[in-house]
């Protein structure tokens, strides 16, 4: 009697599987009757797991085909739409999920359009602000030599004694030149002058010392305002002579860029005392 | 397996041929469902649908033979299952679908205990009671029909590790079935 003809004894200890037998078992090529002791049922189980499809497993065929058709139509639609959008200069980010019974959704446009509009708006705002700055510095109603009639934050700005001949560059601080337009320019527009109030020193033709790149635009604007004497008390000395410009050969001190923060920490009074000591 | 005509079928499906897609779907869907139901009980149909959507989108860009196609489809399916698991829509310990368990014979059901009468879904449900990494490699090897290297590539394991896991899984299955047959009488 061959071992395969004997009924399998469940209490029989299992022999370790060699690699070849395990491979035949997994691929379904091992007949359960030829399996090592203890593995006949495993062979049957694995053959059942890899068995032919059952009816229930194929019940979703119609829905899958509908989804396939919808996906094909959606793909064609996306391709057509993408062509049109690319032709008009926009980039389309399509999710490409077709509407259908498999839970898809129609292709949607990404956020690129909104972001593009924001960039365009920001550019337009920058152009407008810069234009007003140029206009104010050059031919505005308050020529810089006259100063502001009110003597307020803006008075020092245009009347700080910086002669026009010293090469005032509106492009460098055009935003600060917006002050005559009114006090409503955000956090740095009022007498409080924002985060860098009284900190940025502008002398002659030098642009305002470069603020940190992380500073918001409003902070930089505030610095410019102050640089023209916008802080409390700055406007009280409209005729104070400006600091002489440095020779071009002189290299700026490396700590210059940090000055605004240090001075901001000291507050407007520190800036004031420094100016008076000048 | 579709066989030698696979390339033509795949190309036709990529061109939008409905019949070709049907052939691909009928060939792979049962295995896909069994595999996915083992890891996301009750969500197998949804995950399979998501998988097919992805496959349909990528059909035009796929190149390879039938084995590579199967490996790709199961890779997509695995990603869908992992995503679902990460989203936490299903509990971690729900490994065996209840409807599949309903097909399992009771311990005292001698006739039903016969493994040769077990259905494919019930067999997969029994494999799914293994530790997850063991169950996965066995299902990919047996149900998906992939070899060690392909399973290793899909699961991100080394081939040696896949072999070890497979051996442990087979041994564990043998022990479980022996225990079950002792309770319910001789299996065959």
**A143-178 residues labelled b (16+ CB within 10 A) or e (exposed):** ebeebbeeeebbbbbbbbbbeeeeebebebbbbbbb
Contact list in B for residue A17 (CB cut-off 8 A) is 167, 170-171
In a domain, A2, yes or no: no
Q: Give pTM, 2 decimals.
A: 0.52
CATH number of B73's domain: 1.10.1740.10
SS3 category, A81: helix
Q: Can you give the residue range of the structural domain that contains A217?
A: 146-243+260-268
User: pLDDT confidence of A17, banded at 50, 70, 90?
Assistant: confident
* ipTM value for the complex: 0.83
> Are residue B62 and residue B139 in the same domain, yes or no?
no
- For residue A27, the tally of other CB atoms under 10 A from its CB is 14
Distance CA A77, CA A65 (A): 18
Q: How far apart are CA A240 and CA A274, in angstroms?
A: 14
Chain B residues with beta carbon closer than 8 angstroms to that of A68? 18, 21, 25, 52, 56
Flag whether pLDDT at B16 surpasses 70.
Answer: yes
CATH code, domain carrying B155: 1.10.10.10
pLDDT at B58 over 50: yes
Same domain, B101 and B59: no
- Give per-residue pLDDT as tens, B107-146: 444 444 455 567 888 899 999 999 999 999 999 999 999 9
Sign of CA dihedral B57, B59, B64, B69: positive
Chain B residue with CA closest to A48: the answer is B120
d(CA B30, CA B9): 18
Min Cα separation A88/chain B (Å) = 25
DSSP secondary structure letter of residue A250: S
Whether A181 maps to a domain, the answer reads yes
- Contact indicator for A245, A218 with CB cutoff of 8 Å: no
Nearest to A38 among B26, B119, B174 (CB): B174
Measured between CA atoms, how close is B161 to chain A, in angstroms? 13
**Same domain (yes/no): B100, B83:** no
């Amino acid at each position: 009697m061959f071992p395969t003809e004997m009924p399998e004894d469940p209490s029989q200890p299992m022999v370790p599987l060699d690699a070849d037998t395990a491979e035949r078992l997994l691929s379904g090529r091992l007949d359960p009757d030829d399996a090592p002791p203890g593995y006949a049922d495993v062979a049957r189980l694995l053959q059942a797991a890899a068995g032919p499809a059952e009816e229930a497993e194929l019940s979703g065929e119609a829905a899958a085909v509908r989804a396939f058709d919808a996906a094909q139509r959606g793909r064609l639609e996306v391709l057509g739409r993408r062509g049109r959008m690319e032709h008009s200069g926009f980039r389309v980010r399509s999710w490409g999920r077709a509407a259908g019974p498999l839970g898809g959704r129609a292709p949607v446009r990404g956020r690129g359009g909104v972001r593009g509009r924001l960039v365009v708006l920001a550019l337009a705002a920058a152009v407008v602000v810069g234009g007003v700055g140029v206009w104010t510095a050059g031919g505005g109603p308050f020529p810089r030599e006259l100063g502001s009639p009110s003597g307020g934050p803006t008075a020092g700005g245009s009347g700080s004694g910086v002669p026009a001949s010293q090469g005032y560059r509106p492009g460098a601080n055009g935003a600060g030149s917006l002050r005559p337009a009114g006090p409503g320019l955000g956090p740095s527009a009022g007498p409080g002058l924002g985060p860098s109030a009284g900190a940025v020193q502008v002398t002659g033709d030098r642009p305002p010392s470069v603020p940190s790149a992380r500073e918001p635009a409003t902070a930089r604007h505030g610095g410019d305002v102050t640089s023209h004497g916008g802080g409390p008390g700055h406007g009280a000395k409209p005729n104070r002579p400006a600091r002489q410009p440095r020779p071009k050969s002189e290299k700026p001190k490396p700590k210059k860029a940090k000055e605004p923060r240090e001075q901001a920490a000291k507050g407007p009074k520190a800036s004031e005392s420094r100016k008076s000591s000048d | 397996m579709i066989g030698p005509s696979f390339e033509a079928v795949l190309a036709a499906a990529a061109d939008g041929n409905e019949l070709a897609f049907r052939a691909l779907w009928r060939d792979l869907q049962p295995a896909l469902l069994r595999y996915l139901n083992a890891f996301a009980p009750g969500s197998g149909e949804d995950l399979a649908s998501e998988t097919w959507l992805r496959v349909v989108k990528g059909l035009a860009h796929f190149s390879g033979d039938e084995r590579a196609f199967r490996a790709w489809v199961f890779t997509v399916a695995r990603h869908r299952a992992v995503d679902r698991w990460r989203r936490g829509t299903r509990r971690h310990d729900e490994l065996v679908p209840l409807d599949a368990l309903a097909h399992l014979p009771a311990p005292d059901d001698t006739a039903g205990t016969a493994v040769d009468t077990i259905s494919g879904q019930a067999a997969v449900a029994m494999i799914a009671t293994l530790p997850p990494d063991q169950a996965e490699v066995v299902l990919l090897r047996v149900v998906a029909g992939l070899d060690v290297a392909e399973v290793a590539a899909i699961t991100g394991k080394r081939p040696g590790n896949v072999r070890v896991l497979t051996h442990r899984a087979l041994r564990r299955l043998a022990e479980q079935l022996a225990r079950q047959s002792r309770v319910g009488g001789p299996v065959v």
